Amino acid sequence: MSRHQAPPGGRRPRVAEQIHHEIAALIRGELKDPRIGMVTVTGCEITADYAYTTIYFTVFPSDEQTVADTLAGLQHAAGFLRGQLGRRVKIHTTPEVRFVHDRSIEHGMELSQLIDEANSRRASDADSDEDSDADSDADSDADSDEDSGPTVES
């Protein structure tokens, strides 16, 4: 390992986790902007030099207008959040805060919906196969009765 590489699980992930918690608490308790509604902080990444932190968030409801309004409110409050973060987290450089809407939950819901649709199609295909097999079995039984011809009893 090079002298300039941070060991895995070093200080940076711990600082990012603390920033995550502090930003979430600040958004929940300190911000009064009406554009910022039900925001959930889903992740935090910090650069190696601690100059920038990217905060990932989701918002409910997640329509485009609400996301745009929330992002504008968070960007407007970024300076305030950075100042409060500098008071709460003791690091040499307080990082500049950037916000990004996290689409992973929406993407996961879309994938889940596609899987559910595929499973329902598979189930309906299996049902139709069973129905056609049952129909063909009934037809073959009827055909075998017809082929044997009339029975004569003695």
85 pLDDT exceeds 60? yes
Q: What is the mean pLDDT of residues 94-114?
A: 91
CA distance 54 to 62: 19
Local confidence band at 97 (pLDDT 50, 70, 90 cut-offs): very high
Confidence (pLDDT) at 2: 46
Instruction: Outline where DSSP puts E strands in the chain.
Output: 38-46, 52-60, 96-101
Q: What is the pTM of this model?
A: 0.69
Collect all residues with Cβ–Cβ distance below 8 Å to 49 and sequence separation of at least 6: 93
Per residue in 12-66, pLDDT tens?
A: 999 999 999 999 999 999 999 999 989 999 999 999 999 999 999 999 888 899 9
Burial class (CB in 10 A: 0-12, 13-18, 19+), 33: middle
- Report the percent of the chain where pLDDT is more than 90: 59
Per residue in 62-77, pLDDT tens?
A: 889 999 999 999 999 9
Sheet of 96-101, strand order = 38-46, 52-60, 96-101
6 pLDDT exceeds 90? no
Confidence (pLDDT) at 60: 87
Confidence (pLDDT) at 27: 94
Q: Six-digit token pair at 34?
A: 């009406």
